[in-house]
Structure 1
Amino acid sequence: MRLHIILFIACLCLGIKVFSQAPQLTHKSQVSLLTCSAGDELYYAFGHTAIRVQDPELGIDVVYNYGTFDFNRPNFYLNFVKGKLIYSLSRRSFDAFLFEYELEKRWVKEQIFDFTLEEKNRIHAYLENNYLPQNRDYLYDPLWYNCSSITGDILKNLYGDAIVFEGSHLEKRYTFRQLVRQHLNVNSWGAFGIDLAFGSVVDRKATVKEHMFLPYYTMYQMDNTTKNGEPLVKRERTVLDYSEHTNNDFFPLSPLFWFLLLLIFTTIITYLDYRHKTKSKWLDFSLLLLTGLVGTVLFLLWVATDHTSTPYNFNLLWAFPVNLVAGFVLIFQPKLPSWCIKYFWFLLSLFAVLMLLWILKIQIFSPVVIPIMLTLGIRYAFNIKMAHP
């Protein structure tokens, strides 16, 4: 009796082990890359990349998607702020994957790889192993390790030097910031926020492979990638044929519109202050408080998080964190302290440094900050002028 139980358990364990292994694909199988177009929302603005494995003889048609995240994961928002956002590999049927893009009318294109049967089984086994619960999570990075850039890593890990990423299709090598801006309207709140948070580290030119953090560039790259000297892509087709989404932003809702209003408002108030020999402390306090808060957040993103794209952010030269303290000093002082004059001269000198960094392309700033800097410069200069009538 015990022998039967032992044999039953052994067979059960063996069966579980066999079942957990990826099934061997047949000669009719295909492995392909799916590229999905950009959508209307900011988190869809760059498109999407996934890998499809299909085998009609085995009834397999699944999509492996490295772009899955869970809002309900513990400390999701805290990890997002800290730069420790966890993404996961998900697996679903091709029809279920496609349904979302049909609803949103976003095009989907497929590039079928020219793999041997052994190579197809190797990537299938790799993906199945990655899909195991203990392997499917990874530390996401929007520029260096995401659902799109992983494609190049997988190909290199599995096929080594046989895979060559040619770069002749690129008109030029772009910086990371330039690549991101290609998908965004620079005068949008999303683009402004991204430009504000990005440090100077993203203003270096990306390598050919690093361009693949964007799904469109991964698609272009696959057409210019070889395996053992032969084209990697055997053929390609359009799965869903929709027009590219275009965003027609309403100017009165854009950041430039509101910052220009702020500039005009500040200019008028400053002119009235000058005519009446008064000072609108509430305006100075508000400007210093807001720029100080913004600067504090940017500084913390630089030194207190694991974000790889936020260090060395020279937006701090106009959003100076110390303004947070200076604003409270000004609002409670009946007369401007002498050190404040030097402080305002110091802030104006920081603007000069910022412009020099911009001209030298050490960091490229959002053009939307220009009316902000003019607004601040007007009030700084006015306070200096009022101290020396």
Structure 2
Amino acid sequence: MRQIGFALLWLTLWLTISPVHASVANAPGANLEVSLITYGPGETYWERFGHDAIEVRDTASGEAISFNYGVFDFNEANFFVNFARGRMHYLMDAAPTSADERYYVEAGRSITRQPLALDANQANALRDFLLWNLRPENAGYNYDYYADNCTTRVRDALNRALGGVLVTQLRARAGGMTYRQQTDRLMSAQPWLMLVLDLGLGPYADQPLNAWQESFLPEVLQEQLRQVKLDDGHGGTRPLVLGEQVVSANRLDVPPRSPPDLRLSLAAAGLLFAALIMLARRNWPTGYALLGTLYLSAAGLIGVVLLALWTLTTHHSAWANANLLLFNPLAFLLFPTLWRARRGLAASRFIDGIIALQLLACMVAVLLHVLPGTVQQNQPWLLFALPVWLALAWSLRRHR
């Protein structure tokens, strides 16, 4: 995915569809070569998932145009408001392949070309569809991180040209990771952002995926196409991918092959924070109140955000998040009692009820995780939050 200004977009559109400049638009299907171009992950957070494009090349003129679906504009009206609400507007783009390649080479990101075995009719149909999709009235779409992004659009365009071959074969194949695992893996170079995303993802992100669904990532689509077979018309099959060429090698750090295991680190952090709360309660009352305030503020604010994501946005990957049982606005009600506790004053019966309700919520979170049929994999956050809530409950009720 990459950002581009609207002026450059419209210039690109004009160059692409103008008969004077774009022989790709007029070439017969027999002269068209189609390739999947995969670009490696970049350094900026919106580039971490990588990017890809469909290249259509006219063998007669040598002209090659790359079509991609990853254009957005920070300057669009209400961009950040729409982003927060889950209504992200993306656009299709097209540019000469050489211009795209220069951009990614300069950024140090890898470029891999996979020529595809489309026949003349399929290549012609794909080219016509891409040009139709490139028209201003057709170029926009509502972006979804996992279900409708720049790679799923490329995948769907190829599947359309191939008569449904991709969806048939890829749905029959199991995926390797979940949405959460792929997200953690690719964002692991930016740990704080990875933790924020992992905390905000609900059960949708932990559903088992087939290869079709997991092909929301460029590198996964690239791998899956290597295994796709086409009917050769003689009772046999032939590979969809004719070969693979590394146009430019990667010069950036490569994401790990598997996601980090967050359980040990977050469990250690939770136990350490709980131990500090109990030690401070005994030896440093003001420090105890400050530590408790820090945790309760974070828990309450996180709960408000998670609740808003569920009820006020279309970020369905964040809906029904079980972490709401661990971090929720109930935490705000404990502030006065926390500061009274540093003077040795016990919690009121009302606050006792709030503490009991929060502990019950934690127990429900544990049960939801251990009972059969559990989907959301939030063990790291359970291991972090449980010892802290137990320490706070003990310290607030210890004098009753």
| Normalised TM-score (structure 1) | 0.83
**How far does residue 126 in structure 1 lie from its aligned partner after superposition?**
0.7
- Pick from 312, 321, 333 the counterpart of residue 313 of structure 1: 321
Hey, what's the Cα distance between the residues in 1 that align with 2:323 and 2:58? 52
Does structure 1 residue 356 correspond to structure 2 residue 367?
A: yes
Does structure 1 residue 382 correspond to structure 2 residue 395?
A: yes
The change in CA–CA distance for 1:320 and 1:99 in structure 2 (over 3 A counts) is same
1:110–1:238: 8 Å Cα contact kept in structure 2?
yes
Counterpart secondary structure, 2:356: helix
The change in CA–CA distance for 1:366 and 1:45 in structure 2 (over 3 A counts) is farther
Counterpart secondary structure, 1:322: helix
- Structure 2: state its 5+ residue gaps: 1-16, 232-236, 257-261
Q: Aligned runs of 1:25-104 on 2, under 5 Å?
A: 25=28, 27-104=30-107
Identical counterparts, % of pairs: 25
- Pick from 267, 274, 277 the counterpart of residue 282 of structure 2: 274
Hey, what's the Cα distance between the residues in 2 that align with 1:168 and 1:311? 25
Which string of whole-angstrom CA distances, capped at 9 and with x for unpartnered residues, describes residues 218-265 of structure 1? 0011112233343222222111123662469xxxxx999899678646
What is the aligned partner in structure 1 of residue 380 from structure 2? Answer: 367
Q: Aligned runs of 1:280-359 on 2, under 5 Å?
A: 280-327=288-335, 331=339, 336-359=347-370
Counterpart secondary structure, 1:160: coil
Q: Which amino acid aligns with 2:318?
A: T
The change in CA–CA distance for 1:315 and 1:265 in structure 2 (over 3 A counts) is closer
2:37–2:55: 8 Å Cα contact kept in structure 1?
yes
Hey, what's the Cα distance between the residues in 2 that align with 1:276 and 1:237? 64
Q: Aligned runs of 1:5-20 on 2, under 5 Å?
A: none
- Structure 1: state its 5+ residue gaps: 1-15, 249-253
Which string of whole-angstrom CA distances, capped at 9 and with x for unpartnered residues, describes residues 112-139 of structure 1? 1111222111111111111111111100
The change in CA–CA distance for 1:86 and 1:277 in structure 2 (over 3 A counts) is closer
The change in CA–CA distance for 1:262 and 1:120 in structure 2 (over 3 A counts) is same
2:41–2:48: 8 Å Cα contact kept in structure 1?
yes
Counterpart secondary structure, 1:242: coil
1:184–1:191: 8 Å Cα contact kept in structure 2?
yes
**How far does residue 79 in structure 1 lie from its aligned partner after superposition?**
0.6
Of the structure 1 ranges 55-64 and 365-374, higher mean CA displacement relative to structure 2 is found in 365-374
**How far does residue 148 in structure 1 lie from its aligned partner after superposition?**
0.9
Q: Which amino acid aligns with 1:342?
A: G
The change in CA–CA distance for 1:328 and 1:152 in structure 2 (over 3 A counts) is farther
What is the aligned partner in structure 1 of residue 211 from structure 2? Answer: 208
Q: Which amino acid aligns with 1:384?
A: R
Hey, what's the Cα distance between the residues in 2 that align with 1:235 and 1:163? 18
Which string of whole-angstrom CA distances, capped at 9 and with x for unpartnered residues, describes residues 291-314 of structure 1? 111101011101110112111101
What is the aligned partner in structure 2 of residue 135 from structure 1? Answer: 138
**How far does residue 151 in structure 1 lie from its aligned partner after superposition?**
2.3
Hey, what's the Cα distance between the residues in 2 that align with 1:112 and 1:208? 21
- Pick from 225, 235, 239 the counterpart of residue 231 of structure 1: 239
Hey, what's the Cα distance between the residues in 1 that align with 2:109 and 2:172? 25
RMSD, matched Cα: 3.3
Hey, what's the Cα distance between the residues in 2 that align with 1:286 and 1:276? 15
**How far does residue 208 in structure 1 lie from its aligned partner after superposition?**
2.2
Which string of whole-angstrom CA distances, capped at 9 and with x for unpartnered residues, describes residues 14-33 of structure 1? xx998899323463421110
**How far does residue 85 in structure 1 lie from its aligned partner after superposition?**
0.3
**How far does residue 197 in structure 1 lie from its aligned partner after superposition?**
1.1
Counterpart secondary structure, 1:27: helix
1:263–1:374: 8 Å Cα contact kept in structure 2?
yes
Which string of whole-angstrom CA distances, capped at 9 and with x for unpartnered residues, describes residues 168-220 of structure 1? 99675432222323324398112211111111121111122101101111001
Looking at CA atoms only, which structure, 1 or 2, has the larger radius of gyration? Answer: 1
2:28–2:124: 8 Å Cα contact kept in structure 1?
yes
- Pick from 91, 112, 116 the counterpart of residue 115 of structure 2: 112
Of the structure 1 ranges 316-325 and 257-266, higher mean CA displacement relative to structure 2 is found in 257-266
2:185–2:255: 8 Å Cα contact kept in structure 1?
no
Counterpart secondary structure, 1:205: coil
Hey, what's the Cα distance between the residues in 1 that align with 2:163 and 2:144? 23
